Amino acid sequence: MIRTVDALERMSMSELPAGSSTFRCRRSDEVIVAEWEGLLTLRATATGDLLAFEPARDLPRHRVEKLRDGVAAAFLRSLRGSHSLHAAAVASAGATLICVGRSGAGKSTLAAGLCEQRDVELLSDDIAALELRRGLWHVVPSEASIWLHRRRGAGKAPVRSFRTANRPAAVQFVVHLSFDDTVIEPAVRLMHPIDALGVLMSAMVRFDPGPMIWLRELDLVETLLRQARVFEVVRSHRTPPARVARSVTAQTWGNRR
């Protein structure tokens, strides 16, 4: 009669460009110092004003940009009491579709596939910035490129050929991605609300979790689930990404167009 929905975990850093990284946060006088070991040190006020952004010296420019637009921006937002999802997000005609799932589930790949379609624009690749506007949760454009594996086993690199959104869009759809190599056709089905809640809670980006944060997140997810439909997308590793994107479109924006 009772089952675990999910256990909260500090955000996984495994998708950062340089691989796993230990995150530490401390307060020094009135300054918050956040460190992603070997990657980045960030200094900010307690209210989220940036004081210093210090990436590791040997990081290439595109990796610095990803840190700046991704985890660093999310950290500053968290100091201001705003929330982010570990998710890729795209928008079409003012409606956002968020892709969530474990690392390697194909969030960026689906976002890229969707951005190949007419009228679809990129909002975020890795970290979606949430903002409440007129009672609806919106995703604010935060990242301008999608990082994809160029070949199997190789690290991710940025792909910049997508249209990027220039304004926030209200969240209308969420898709949770997973693989099952026994399925032939991609399956896109509505999730049970409790499962959807677990999926979204797992995707919340957390830097300093605690009771107040968890309660706020619960409020956020509850509101988000009232405005958005959450789908489970299961497909095989063999399914071409463009086919998955078409199946997702058919069940989401396709139903509306």
Partner 1 sequence: MSGERSVGVDGRVRAAENAHCRHFEDELVLLDLSNGQYFALNALATQVWFALLAGKSPIQIATALETQYDVEHDVLVRDCVAFTNDLLQRGLVVPRIG
* Footprint on this chain of partner 1 (rule: CB under 8 A): 1-8, 193-194, 197-198, 201, 209, 211, 214-215, 218, 222
Torsion sign across C-alpha atoms 246, 254, 168, 131? negative
The rounded distance, in Å, linking the Cα atoms of 230 and 219 is 17
Q: In this complex, which beta carbon is closest to partner 1, that of residue 86 or of residue 235? A: 86
Question: 210 — phi, psi (to 5°)?
Answer: 180, 170
Closest distance to partner 1 from the beta carbon of 209 (Å): 6
Q: In this complex, which beta carbon is closest to partner 1, that of residue 53 or of residue 214? A: 214
Q: In this complex, which beta carbon is closest to partner 1, that of residue 1 or of residue 154? A: 1
Q: In this complex, which beta carbon is closest to partner 1, that of residue 18 or of residue 228? A: 228
The 10 Å Cβ neighbour count of residue 217 is 17
Residue 110 contacts by C-beta under 8 Å, 6 or more apart in sequence? 88, 99, 175, 177, 233, 241, 244, 245, 248
Closest distance to partner 1 from the beta carbon of 3 (Å): 6
Residue 60 contacts by C-beta under 8 Å, 6 or more apart in sequence? none
Q: In this complex, which beta carbon is closest to partner 1, that of residue 6 or of residue 49? A: 6
Of 188, 214, 183, the C-alpha closest to 201 is 214
Question: Could you identify the residue written with the tokens 């991609």?
Answer: 186
Q: Contact, 156 vs 62, CB < 8 A?
A: no
Closest distance to partner 1 from the beta carbon of 123 (Å): 27
Q: In this complex, which beta carbon is closest to partner 1, that of residue 31 or of residue 215? A: 215
Closest distance to partner 1 from the beta carbon of 254 (Å): 26
Closest distance to partner 1 from the beta carbon of 4 (Å): 6
Closest distance to partner 1 from the beta carbon of 31 (Å): 27
DSSP, residue by residue, 93-154: TTEEEEEE-STTSSHHHHHHHHHTSTTEEEEESSEEEEEEETTEEEEE-----EEEESSTTS
Closest distance to partner 1 from the beta carbon of 222 (Å): 7
Q: In this complex, which beta carbon is closest to partner 1, that of residue 129 or of residue 197? A: 197
